[in-house]
Amino acid sequence: MSTSTSAAGRTVRRGRRRVEPVYWLFLLPSLVLFTLAITVPGIIGITFSFTDSIGVGDWSFNGLTNYIALFSDPAILQSYLFTFGFSIVTVLVVNVIAFLLAIGLTARIRFKTGLRTVFVIPMVISGIIIAYVFNFLFSNSLPAVGSATGVTWLQTSLLANPDLAWVAIVAVTAWQAIPGTLLIYIAGLLSVPGDVYEAADLDGASKTQQLLRVTMPLVAGYVVINVILGFKGFLNAYDIIKGLTDGGPGTSTRSIAMSIIAGFNGGDYGYQMANATIFFVVAVLISLLQLSLTRGRNAL
């Protein structure tokens, strides 16, 4: 009995890998930097969300006052509504266009390598630079074209129209975001074995049937990852909106990030820290959703 027990103990001990101290030594600097740059400021910010601080000077705790006020503030609710609506529409536009481009750029066409390079260029340009360039196009070039051609709705800037400004923001954001999504889809399509398509051809499947019944199921993991990552990224939209409309006309295109930063500069530090805390909770929930949707998928 004792022999079997000791043998089992040795087996358990052998099954546990001993962590070398040098691993902890290399981990320590990153852990310290992450704690000082992310964790500590986060805890301080959450603490200030329960105060009446304006960013400087004296402050006092006011409990849940900031959080209660947030849910009755129409400007904050509008920013959440715009941000989520903008994110959903942009995710759909980006993924549909990127997937179709990926199919074309993995087909047997000439110059596909050069075309891939061209389509990736927007990804390496700063968002604020892109925004200022398109701001000029929407405010000057397109109205000039509209006046010359007699197209009435083009004669005024889309950015000045509270009902259409979001369309311009979606278009510019998608233009920059499509390349990154495109690269992931290209990787997914190239990972599909060619034998699968040969078998589908032998079974008489058309190209459309192959796309719907072969390609889509095999790259579903890539679709899920692109949708979740895209949605999380667009929730943080700031630079392109800042350069295009600065949240206008009025506050019709003000995102959550813009509301938070504007509050920091406008003396609503504690109030906007409560807003940032709620936004953080939303981001965590989306991250948990991502983990649940991608669990068990080994596409990447």
DSSP secondary structure letters along 232-261: HHHHT--HHHHHHTTT-STTTT--HHHHHH
Cβ distance 279 to 260 under 8 Å? Answer: yes
Residue 243 within any structural domain of the chain: yes
Q: Which ranges of 106-164 would DSSP assign to H, the alpha helix?
A: 112-120, 127-136, 142-149
Structural domains in the chain (count): 2
Q: What is the pLDDT of residues 140-154, one digit of tens each?
A: 988 898 888 888 878
Q: What is the pLDDT of residues 197-238, one digit of tens each?
A: 888 888 888 888 888 888 888 888 898 889 888 988 899 999
Residue 251 within any structural domain of the chain: yes
- Do 88 and 228 belong to one domain? yes
Query: Average pLDDT, stretch 187-193?
Result: 88
Residue 205 within any structural domain of the chain: yes
- Do 258 and 197 belong to one domain? yes
**Sequence letter at residue 124:** V
Q: pLDDT-derived band of residue 299, with 50, 70 and 90 as boundaries?
A: very low
- Angle between helix axes 220-235 and 165-190 (nearest 10 degrees) is 150
- Do 202 and 79 belong to one domain? yes
- Do 289 and 208 belong to one domain? no
Residue 160 confidence (pLDDT) above 60: yes
- Do 284 and 256 belong to one domain? no
pLDDT (0 to 100) of residue 6: 53
Longest dimension (CA), the chain: 97
Contacts within 8 Å (CB) and 24+ apart, 75-82: 75/251, 75/254, 75/259, 76/259, 76/275, 78/251, 78/252, 78/254, 79/251, 79/254, 79/255, 79/256, 79/258, 79/259, 80/256, 82/166, 82/252, 82/253, 82/254, 82/255
- Do 273 and 295 belong to one domain? yes
- Do 163 and 275 belong to one domain? no
Q: What is the pLDDT of residues 17-49, one digit of tens each?
A: 777 888 888 888 999 999 999 899 999 999 999
Query: Average pLDDT, stretch 270-289?
Result: 89
| Element containing residue 81 per DSSP (H, E) | helix 74-105
- Do 151 and 206 belong to one domain? yes
- Measured at the CA of 259, the angle between CA 258 and CA 261, to 5 degrees, comes to 65
Identify the CATH number of the domain in which residue 108 sits: 1.10.3720.10
Give the whole-angstrom CA distance, residue 79 versus residue 256.
5
Query: Average pLDDT, stretch 13-17?
Result: 59
Residue 32 within any structural domain of the chain: no
- Do 115 and 255 belong to one domain? yes
Give the whole-angstrom CA distance, residue 139 versus residue 184.
34
Q: Which ranges of 138-268 would DSSP assign to H, the alpha helix?
A: 142-149, 165-190, 194-202, 207-210, 216-218, 220-235, 239-244, 256-265
Residue 10 within any structural domain of the chain: no
Residue 117 confidence (pLDDT) above 80: no
Say how many C-beta atoms besides its own lie within 10 A of residue 95's C-beta.
22
Question: Domain of 52?
Answer: 41-72+267-299
CA–CA distance from 281 to each of 28, 47, 227 (Å)? 27, 15, 19
Which residue shows structure tokens 């068990």? 296
